[in-house]
Amino acid sequence: MPRFMFALVVAVLAVVVGGELALVGGQATSGEYKIGVLEPITGPLAFEGKRHVLGLEIVRDLINQRGGVMGKKLVFAMADATDPTAAASEANRLITREGVKIITGTFSSRLCGAASEVAARHDVIYWESSCVDPRFNKRGLKHVYRTEIDATGFGWYNIEFIAKHLAPRLNLKPNQIKIAFLSEDSSYGQGVTESARQRAKSEFGMQEVMLEYYNWQTLNDMTPTILKMKQLNPDVVHHISFSNDGVLFWRQSKEQNFLFKALVHAGATGYGGSDFGKALGNDANGVFALLEPGPGFRLEALKPEGQQIEKAFRDAVQKETGSYPLGAHQLAGSGLWLLKLVLDKAQSDDPEKFRAAVMSLDLPVGSMINGWGVKFSELGQNANDRVQHYMLQWQNGQLVTVWPEEFTTLRAKWIPLPAWDQRK
């Protein structure tokens, strides 16, 4: 338990000292402005939820150093959304007991739907930074917004990469590519996979050789699936994994000597999380994951204001965690920064004034953290082409940015993937 006590002491000190520094270093703020933060901080989703919270805390401090929101110091009322039921009841508590007018969250697509329904019932603004369920914005809820693209956008970008970058490097036309779709079966996995399938087929005529969904929580062995895939012999494996399923597929593919030309994933889960590299070391080499930018990302490719906040954010995360920001930090952090931009403009948390401010924001790509821009649709969804996404690749224990090439100094390697023992 000493670890825990130590963490507690550090947290208390950080709050006390951090608060003092904000007052000394930044513009003066008077009073506090409280928003609700809903993330899974215990339970099976906590490993990612806690990273979201850290991203939010870092950006909260950056905001407070820059004058807070609406002239007040931004503070959080925290709530723990372990599962959809808890997400709904905690959202209720934030609204009725804590009296918040804005709630932000919630790592998982399993949680955001339930929580935002509650917020909508109370006319409270729901500001989503991470969940990618395509249905989220399509329920006619007026004060529900999402800063990240949805799963359909992920699928769109993945196929863009396969057709425009991988195909030429494999000396194949897009319609010659044999593609196998494998995915965990949450709304996230299904959303990405179905939109990728649709675009692959209708726009590029790729040949789909397999489609398979599975439940990652009960998956103990992928050998049968791999043996089946071996016979179907795909060029590209489009695999949306959630956690250990990515490690299992990759390790057992190696065991079964299953060779294909590339594997493409999307999102900060599974192959897109740091754990994949930790589990496999250099054996992870070659996997692609669509994400927020990582090492190799060129600051100079951004607008001046984007460069400034991206750098401040990156340095703060580096200081806190000792490494480059992870997807979870970046999604939560950029979401909160965008909330600040809206509040700066609205100067109010009245839902109607807030909505007017959201709709009027129009920033090009490169304007903020992650090189994102802003343009919300009437449905409250930030636009695919403003929320720039990047293809990262595992290279010697690190996920690095490799595409689009104008945003990065590094290049994709191992296309097509060589034999398993030659990926060094």
Partner 1 sequence: MDPATGLGPAQIGVLVPLAVATILLGGIYALISVGLTLIFGIMRVVNFAHGEFLMLGMYLAFWAYFVFTVDPYFVVVVAIPLFFVVGLVVYGLVMRGVIRASHNVQIFTTVGLSTVLQNVALVAWSGDFRFVRPWHLSTVVRAGATTFNLTQVVASVIAVTLTLALVAFMKWTHAGRVMRATAQDRDAATLMGIDTDRVYRLSFAIGIAAVGAAGVLVAPLYSVYPTAGLQFVLISYVVVVLGGLGDMLGAMLGSLIVAAVEVAGSYLFGAAWKEIFYFLLFILVLLFRPAGLFGQRGAETLGV
List of residues contacting partner 1 (CB under 8 A): 1, 3-4, 42-44, 46-47, 49-50, 185, 209-210, 212-215, 217-225, 227-228, 231-232, 243-244, 247-248, 252, 254-257, 273, 275, 278-279, 281, 283
CB of 390 to partner 1, least distance (A): 24
User: Minimum CB separation from partner 1 for residue 424, in Å?
Assistant: 14
Name the minimum Å distance from CB 226 to partner 1.
Answer: 9
Q: How far is the CB of 386 from partner 1 (least distance, A)?
A: 32
- The encoded tokens of residue 389 equal 């996404």
Closest to partner 1 by CB, 248 or 374: 248
* C-alpha–C-alpha distance, residues 306 and 291, integer Å: 18
Distances (CA, A) of 135 to 117, 141, 191: 12, 11, 9
CB-wise, 107 or 354, nearer to partner 1? 107
Spatial separation of the C-alpha atoms in residues 110 and 128, rounded to whole Å:
13
> Is 327 within 8 Å of 273 (Cβ atoms)?
yes
Q: Are 301 and 313 in contact (CB under 8 A)?
A: no
Give 51 or 101: the residue with its C-beta nearer to partner 1: 51
- What phi, psi does 233 have (nearest 5°)? 50, 60
Least distance in Å: CB of 4 to partner 1? 6
Of 5 and 24, CB closest to partner 1: 5
CA-angle at 398, arms to 394 and 399, nearest 5°: 55
CB of 168 to partner 1, least distance (A): 27
Token pair of 68, please?
A: 């807070």
Tokens linked to 140: 């006619």
State the greatest distance between any 2 C-alpha atoms of the chain, in Å, as a whole number.
67
Bridge pairing between strands 262-266 and 236-240: parallel
Q: Which is nearer to partner 1, 351 or 397 (CB)?
A: 397
Nearer to partner 1, 243 or 334 (CB): 243
How do beta strands 178-184 and 125-128 pair? unpaired
